[in-house]
Amino acid sequence: MESAGKFEKIRALAGGAAAAIFGAGASGRAAAELLKRAGVGFSVYAQDAGAPDFAAKPFGAGAAKAHRLVVYSPAFRPDHEWIRLAEESGAAAICEPDLSALAWEGKIYAVTGTNGKTTLASFLERALTLAGIRAVAAGNIGRPLSAFCAEMEDSSNAAAVCELSSFQTSRLKFLRPDALLWTNFAPDHLDWHKDMREYFCAKFNLVKALRGELLFVSKDVAEAAEEYGMEMPAFAKIPADMAPSACPKPFGTSVQSRNFAMASEFLKSLGLQSAAAEAARGFALPKYRFGEPVEARGVKFYNDSKATNAHAAIAALRELSGAESLVWIGGGKDKNCDISELAAEIAKTAKGAALIGQTAGKLAKMLRSSGVDARVCGSMKEAVEIAAKMAGDGGSVLFSPGFSSFGMFSGYADRGKSFQNEVLCLKNLK
C-alpha cells in the first residue's frame, strides 16, 4: 500500500507549479513517470526533438520563470546554460537520481567507480534477491530509480542497488546512500570534467552523503583521496585482494576478483555470510564485458566493448598478455585523457592493432612509433577482417576499445553488438 507522504517532498519542491524536465531520454522519461504519479505537472525541454511520442522544446528565460523545480538528466553538465537560467529564477535544479531519492522509501546501496560498476551492481542485485530481499538494480545500469519509484506502491522493504556515474553525483542534494561501494579510480571523462580532481570530487560527494558506516573502497580510491586532500572516513574498508584462481566463475580475472572481494565484504556486513558464493553460481557477466571468446576461422575473438576508458582496456590486455599472436581492436571518441600508458601496453602485448573512431589516427601514429603494425579502419567490418588476418590461425583478437563509442555507435552495447555480428559473419563465411 502506498504511503500517504511518499510524494510530499516532490510536491513541496514543485511549489504548486509544473516542473521542468531537461532531457527526453531514459532519465527524462523516468522523471516524467514519477512526477505524474506524484500529481505534479511537467514540461519537457530538450536540445533535440527527442522521440516523436515525447514532445520536447528548447528552454529559455521566459520558461525559467514558470517552474519551481527542474529535473535534469545526467547528459546536462551542472554549468549548462539552462540550469543557470532556472536557478537564477529561483528554481531548485536537481539531477534525476535526487528526484528518485525523494520518493524511494527503502535502502539505497550506491555503486560507483571508473570501471566494474555494472558487474558489481548486477551481482549485488542477484545476491540480495537470492537472500530473500526485494532488490532492484537501478541508475546507470540501465533503468533509472525514478522508474521503480513510479511503479512500486511500497518500496519501504526494498533495496535499490544504484550504479551512479560522476555525471549523476556532481551536485547531489537529496540522495543519501545507506552504503557505498567504490570499485576503483582511474583517468576518465576528462572531456567532461576539467581535471582529475574534479572527477574525483564528483564521486566523493557520495561519501559525504553517506548515511551510516557501510563504505567499501579500493586501494587506489583511498590513495586518490589522500592525493586530493579529501578525508576518507576512518570506517572505510579496503577489501583484501583475492587471487583470481580462488574466485568462483566468472570472477577469475584480476579485475573481476576485486569485484567479488568487495561484494563479499559488503554482503557479510549485512549478515549474509554465504550470499556471494551462492550468487556466483549461475551468474553471467553483463553483456560485452571481457569473458569467454568466440572462435571463428581459427581465431579467438574477445568482446570487451564495455571498456570505455584506457584503464579498462589495459586490464583486458594484461589478462591476455600470454596469448599467442594477439591483435587489439580499439579506438573511439576522445575523452582528452592521457593514452600513453595504453599505447605502451598495446606495444608490449599485441603484435598489431586495428583502429576505429575519432582517435584512430592519433593512436596509429603512437603505435607505429613503437613498432606496432597499426591499421586505421573505416568500419567495424574492416577492423574485424583485418584483425583476423593479422592474428592468423591460432591467434587472438581483443576488442577492448578504451574510448567512448559515440561518433560511430549509440553506446557500448550497440558497439559490442556490431563487433559480435561481424565476428559471426566471419564465422559463417564459407
The pLDDT tens digits of the residues spanning 244-303 come to: 888 998 888 888 899 999 999 999 999 999 999 999 999 988 888 887 899 998 999 999
pLDDT band at 6 (very low <50, low <70, confident <90, very high): confident
| Pairwise CA distance, residues 414 & 93, whole Å | 32
> Pick from 198, 192, 200: which is nearest to 221 by CA?
200
DSSP symbols for 137-168: EEETTSS-HHHHHHH-S--TTEEEEEE--HHH
| Pairwise CA distance, residues 269 & 266, whole Å | 5
| Pairwise CA distance, residues 18 & 233, whole Å | 40
What's the mean per-residue pLDDT of the chain?
92
Give the model confidence (pLDDT) of 350-397 as tens digits. 999 999 999 999 999 999 999 999 999 999 999 999 999 999 999 999
State whether residue 330 is helix, strand or coil: strand
The pLDDT value given to residue 187: 72
Q: Is 157 exposed, middle or buried (0-12, 13-18, 19+ CB in 10 A)?
A: exposed
327 in Cβ contact with 396 (< 8 Å):
yes
Residue 25 has pLDDT above 70, yes or no: yes
| Pairwise CA distance, residues 266 & 262, whole Å | 6
pLDDT band at 336 (very low <50, low <70, confident <90, very high): confident
Q: What share of the chain is helix, strand, coil (3-state, %, to 5)?
A: 40, 15, 45
Q: What is the torsional sign of CA 382, 118, 287, 412?
A: negative
Q: Is 231 exposed, middle or buried (0-12, 13-18, 19+ CB in 10 A)?
A: exposed
Instruction: Give the residue-averaged pLDDT of 132-142.
Output: 93
Which of 65-69, 116-120, 187-191, 394-398 is the least confident region?
A: 187-191
Instruction: Please give the grid coordinates belonging to residue 217.
Output: 573502497
> Pick from 29, 70, 164, 152: which is nearest to 108 by CA?
164
Give the model confidence (pLDDT) of 55-112 as tens digits. 567 888 889 999 999 999 998 988 899 999 999 999 999 999 999 999 999 999 999 9
Beta bridge mates, 398 = 302, 328
Helix axes 412-428, 380-391, angle to 10 degrees: 50
Q: Which value, in Å, is the radius of gyration of the alpha carbons in the chain?
A: 23
Give the model confidence (pLDDT) of 354-367 as tens digits. 999 999 999 999 99
Give the model confidence (pLDDT) of 33-47 as tens digits. 999 999 999 999 987
Beta pairing class for 352-355 and 326-330? parallel
Total-model pTM: 0.86
Residue carrying the nine cell digits 553538465? 77
Which of 53-62, 186-195, 341-350 is the least confident region?
A: 53-62
Q: What is the torsional sign of CA 110, 272, 115, 282?
A: negative
Q: How distant is the alpha carbon of residue 259 from its chain centre? A: 14
pLDDT band at 51 (very low <50, low <70, confident <90, very high): very low
Give the model confidence (pLDDT) of 199-251 as tens digits. 999 999 999 999 999 999 999 999 999 999 999 999 999 999 899 888 998 88
Instruction: Please give the grid coordinates belonging to residue 365.
Output: 601514429
Residue 2 has pLDDT above 80, yes or no: no
Q: Any residues with CB less than 8 A from the CB of 99 and at least 6 apart, and which?
A: 10, 31, 34, 35, 71, 146, 174
Q: Cα dist. 288→118, 284, 343, 356, 370 in Å? A: 11, 11, 22, 17, 29
The H or E element containing residue 110 is strand 107-112
> Pick from 61, 25, 62: which is nearest to 44 by CA?
25
Higher pLDDT, 139 or 189: 139
Instruction: Please give the grid coordinates belonging to residue 42.
Output: 511537467
Residue 326 has pLDDT above 90, yes or no: yes
DSSP symbols for 256-302: HHHHHHHHHHHHHHTT-TTHHHHHHTT--PPTTSS-S-EEETTEEEE
Q: Cα dist. 83→23, 88, 91, 160 in Å? A: 12, 9, 9, 28
